Amino acid sequence: MPARNAPMWALGYHQCKWSYYPESNFRAIGTGFRERQIPCDALYLDIDYMDGYRCFTWSPTHFPDPKTMVRELAADGFKTIVIIDPGIKIDPNYSVYTEGLANDYFCRRADGPLMRGSVWPGLCNFPDFTRPDVREWWAGLFKGLIQEDGVRGVWNDMNEPAVFEKGTFPDDVRFNYDGNPASHKKAHNIYGMQMARATAAGVKQFTYPNRPFTITRSTYAGGQRYSSAWTGDNIASWDHLWLANIQCQRLSISGFSFVGSDVGGFVETPDGELYARWIALAAFHPFFRTHSSGDHGDQEPWSFGEEVTDLARKFISLRYQLLPYVYTTFWQYVKQGTPMLRPLAFLDQTDTDTYLRMAEFSLGDHLLVCPITTAGADGRWMYLPKGQWYYWWTDEARTGGAEVWASANLDRIPLFVKAGAVIPLYPVMQYVGEKVVEEVTLHVYYKNGTEHSVLYDDGGEGYGYQEGHATTRRFTVIGTDATLTLRQEIEGDYTPSFATYRVVFHGLPFAPLKGTVDTKAAPLTEAATETDAMLPETVVKAGFAEIVIK
């Protein structure tokens, strides 16, 4: 189930375009990220990497030595993701076509002939992914790309299925439907999911012992078992930025949390302001990818001038710092079924003022986000659920149950932290695994009362977690008028790379005089924040049981 055991790097930043080619241009994109110190984990190849758009092939002109290219990009931290569509070119010299034809794997019309439709390669036949033997055959086709060439993930597109003549298949196309023959009227909605299912099986088989990663444009209820997704070909407009926020929330509460939108818009070109606002929102979506049609201009994070480059670096870097929090939220989704993105009504169902709010959402248990989706804005009004909240950028305390104004120029997105939260941060990395994480920073937000947080860790790769090699750290914050207590309980036998925590305390209503860790005195120092305020901090062993600040 690839979407539900995704590697941590899949939650990093991804860059895509229709299309990066030839090889020199593709490599230059990777160089652009590393030279500018903008974190990135995955680079995508659209249809032009293929030989005449034939799936499972490489263009000998554009990519003459793909194995070497993929290996050298991997050495610099990049995972190569390739697109695969369902249309198989009708070509007697193309082995995928001849295998499918010889084994009768392709869909047929009601009166017997093979279903033929035009897509990127020209006239194509289409596998019947509702047949188990076809799915098994399809999975095996990935050996070359994944096991031999080193590709780390697959992107399924055009799998509604899309054809140029009429949009999709005629209604009379027949499907096996897992032994229950049906027409396209019945099978249309599951075709894309069954393709993603077959793709996921192949990627999982040939990428082992690493975890698989797949993405699909078309899916169905239950498809979250097989793939992540994005919201499809959108437009570079403020309306579609607003829509991306709504779509991702609603997909998340429908069971499909591992989702995002094409940052900046696929069709047309955003200006720098729109791109900056979009990347700020997408930094809080589970799937985080810029993608564009490419025929209207470049859409890399550095394509809009130095100011926007700096802003993109800032928000992408923040995402990498938040990876332990995002990964924990992903684990909660897998383990408990809780949406990663939660509309306000999910935060407090007793508060009727949350029912009709659409812009605001939480990522996980403790971060509340409200994107700015209009041009020229320097902030926005938003609703805070009942309770106490802290503005991420300034530590200003706010009382919920009311609308509040959140100031947010282009360098900020309205972002609040629930009082009592413990937010773990990694150091900034250019890609997951670039650095050995020796210390995790815990940002602890004061609450007069009790709040619980969790940090899950299994290394972010491999299958050790299936044997119980994972650790769950449960934090409890207990605040009074004069003290703040942080307790930790550790479950599991996984030993992470970090041995210490740097603990930063926010919002204390008293001037701290002393601290203890497991009843022993601990020194308190001061940490500078973005606004130059000084906050108390301490460094402790990662296995502590209780910290008390007085």
Which DSSP state fits 10?
Answer: G
Q: Which two tokens stand for residue 401?
A: 């149950």
At position 38, the amino acid (one-letter code) is I
pLDDT of the residue at 296: 77
pLDDT for the residue 510: 96
CA torsion 297-238-345-417 (nearest 10°) is 70
In sequence order, the 6+-apart residues with CB closer than 8 A to the CB of 151 are 70, 80, 81, 82, 145
Two structure tokens written together for 94: 């193309």
Q: Is the peptide bond before 39 cis (omega within 30 degrees of 0)?
A: no
pTM above 0.95, yes or no: yes
Look at residue 533 in the predicted model and tell me its pLDDT: 75
Domain annotation for the chain: domains and CATH numbers: 10-213 (3.20.20.80), 341-418 (2.60.40.1180), 436-549 (2.60.40.1180)
Q: Is 160 a catalytic residue?
A: yes
* pLDDT given at position 113: 98
d(CA 282, CA 260): 7
pLDDT at 1: 40
Q: How far lies 420's CA from each of 70, 389, 452, in Å?
A: 45, 9, 7
Active-site residue identified among 85, 157, 365, 457: 157
What span, in angstroms and rounded, lies between the C-alpha atoms of 439 and 500?
5
Residue 3: predicted pLDDT: 57
Could you identify the residue written with the tokens 């296995």? 543
State the Cα–Cα distance between residues 335 and 318, nearest whole angstrom. Answer: 25
Q: What is the pLDDT of residue 56?
A: 98
Long-range pairs of 123-128 with CB within 8 A, sequence gap ≥ 24: 123/89, 123/90, 124/87, 124/88, 124/89, 124/90, 125/87, 125/88, 125/90, 125/97, 125/100, 125/101, 126/86, 126/87, 126/88, 126/161, 126/169, 127/86, 127/88, 127/100, 127/195, 128/175, 128/176
How far apart are alpha carbons 377 and 409 in whole angstroms? 7
Low-confidence residues of the chain, pLDDT below 50? 1-2
Separation CA 308–CA 319 (nearest Å) = 16
Q: Cα torsion for 437, 150, 37, 538, to the nearest 10°?
A: -10
Q: In terms of Cα–Cα distance, which of 219, 90, 221 is closest to 159?
A: 219
Say which of 233, 268, 351, 353 is annotated catalytic: 233
Cα gap 214→79, rounded to integer Å: 12
Enumerate helices (H) and strands (E) in the chain, giving the number of each.
Answer: 10, 33
Percent of the chain with pLDDT over 90: 96
The pLDDT value given to residue 2: 44
* 233 catalytic residue (yes or no): yes
Per DSSP bridges, beta strands 13-15 and 174-175 are unpaired
What pLDDT, on a 0 to 100 scale, did the predictor assign at position 159? 98
CA distances in angstroms from 325 to 86, 366, 496, listed in the order given: 36, 10, 15
Question: Given 128, 160, 262, 300, which residue is catalytic?
Answer: 160
